[in-house]
Amino acid sequence: MRLLGHRGAKGEAPENTIAGFMYAKKLGLDALEFDVYLAKDNKLVVIHDPTLDRTTNGTGNVIDFTSTELALLDARAGITDFSLPCGVPTLNQVLDVVYDIPLMQIEIKHDNPQRLEQLIPLLVKTIEERQMTPQVIITSFDPTALAILKHMAPDYPTFSLLGAFDSIEWVDRAIALGCTQVNVSLQKSSAEVVAAAREAGLKVGSWVCDTPEDFATATKWKVDSFTCNFPSVILPLMETRAAN
């Protein structure tokens, strides 16, 4: 199984920030997950929420700010162990830091179809120009985003539907979208759904694994990967499992 640092290491470092990704790398993580939005100046920025209020000292909608304005915010989100403010980075700034990470999941956040039609070609172009396609799985909870991806970049090799996956119908949705992977909830899905996904030839990622109980479920289901907010908690469990 592969541990992906969720938004870097969301529970231990400022999420979706350069400082957070550097922290995750120092822990030795070889896989990461993070999110992209389209800023007002049509640049891709790495942030989870559609608004600034939860993770920064700003307020308002991400799409109403330029990437330069977003970079000037303090995105520490209450994690005070980091002495310097962490701005909202661009995707290119993040990739400059994590270029050597073997596996990344980049999540397209929900947006209107017109903006997604701007975002998706830019995202794919950025990944391809950096020759990082083998490293990057594109993911989304939004079926519209994945349908647009399949239409606008039909040759992109790996993308995944995120969701609860609390019924087999989710697997059918992923197949209809042309996904190569599904990302199931460890709290809401089941071994039966995971088995159905495997039978359909899909890889299985999962979210989110933060406790020994979550790790036991991920191990029992034999998922390929999971996202984790607290890698310092789960890494020792993985080491113990590997040793046995």
Question: Domain residue spans in the chain?
Answer: 2-243
| Residues 24-58: tens digit of each pLDDT | 999 999 999 999 999 999 999 999 999 999 999 99
The pLDDT, as a whole number, for residue 78 is: 78
In whole angstroms, what is the distance from residue 90 CA to residue 240 CA? 37
The pLDDT, as a whole number, for residue 82 is: 82
Active site members: 6, 48
Instruction: Supply the DSSP symbol for 57.
Output: S
Q: Is the pTM of this model over 0.95?
A: yes
In whole angstroms, what is the distance from residue 43 CA to residue 56 CA? 19
Kindly state the tokens that stand for 142: 């939004």
The pLDDT, as a whole number, for residue 85 is: 79
In whole angstroms, what is the distance from residue 51 CA to residue 45 CA? 13
In CATH, what class is 2-243?
alpha beta
In whole angstroms, what is the distance from residue 96 CA to residue 3 CA? 21
In whole angstroms, what is the distance from residue 11 CA to residue 211 CA? 12
Q: Is there a contact between 36 and 50 (Cβ–Cβ < 8 Å)?
A: no
The pLDDT, as a whole number, for residue 10 is: 96
| Residues 168-209: tens digit of each pLDDT | 999 999 999 999 999 999 999 999 999 999 999 999 999 999
pLDDT at 80 over 80: no
Mean pLDDT of 156-173: 98
Q: Please state the φ and ψ torsions of residue 8, each to the nearest 5 degrees.
A: 100, -85
Band the pLDDT of 77: cuts 50, 70, 90: confident
The pLDDT, as a whole number, for residue 234 is: 98
Q: Is there a contact between 215 and 234 (Cβ–Cβ < 8 Å)?
A: yes
pLDDT at 83 over 90: no
